[in-house]
Amino acid sequence: MIRLNSFLALFLFVFGLSSLASSQLPVGSLENKQDPFTNIEEMTSELLVIIAEHKSNFPNNESAYFDALNNLMTGFVDFDFVAKKVMGKYAKSSAKDQRERFEAVFRKGLVETYGRGLMSYGNEKIVLINKQTLPAKQRRVLAKQEIRSDAAVYPLNYLMYQKKSTGEWNIVNVTLNGIDLSKTFASQFLNAVRKSSGDVDQVIDSWMSGSK
């Protein structure tokens, strides 16, 4: 993977901040996960617990911390969908084991960058601005937040889809201040494939080392 520039690192950092926006809610049920806005709030509640448990010892306990984050995010983020979007046309032309390997390294890199950003969380005010009751058949929604500090206000959007099989809503993309996470990583993946003369395995193998 191409090394993250400072703005993208900030983007992922604020992605972490956004998940700390709401007050704590009870760890939820499938019914909660069938509402996208409650879904975001539930993830927030569980994140606060994980951070509280690991912050005082970080980074000595980073392995356990990242594992806890990964386990949490698995229930809220559709990593398979996001990884395929990042791979673009190569998701269809690559072998199953290549797609699985990329999803694994992509997930690891995202969780670790996300987790380190969360440890720097301050007191920014983050507001969910479009919580609403959705029509029964709506399966796509943009959950909109604003990150408010003394200096500026940054719009942050979660794109979420509802699974037909379970009714659960999952995060499939994040956009901050007009910067699209999936498109940014997809551009990086495509450029890396071009530089490697189409060698997808080389891109996958170098993705983690390039993101450090």
CATH code of 6-202, in short, is: 3.10.450.710
The pTM of the full predicted model, rounded to 2 decimals, is 0.77
Taking only the tens of pLDDT, the chain with its 212 residues reads: 433 443 444 444 444 444 444 433 344 444 556 789 988 778 777 877 888 899 899 999 999 999 999 999 888 899 999 999 999 999 999 999 999 999 999 998 888 877 887 776 666 677 789 999 999 889 999 999 887 878 888 888 889 999 888 889 999 998 877 888 888 889 999 999 999 999 999 999 998 665 54
- Rounded to a whole number of angstroms, the distance between the first and last alpha carbons of the chain is 10
DSSP notation for 194-206: HHTTT-HHHHHHH
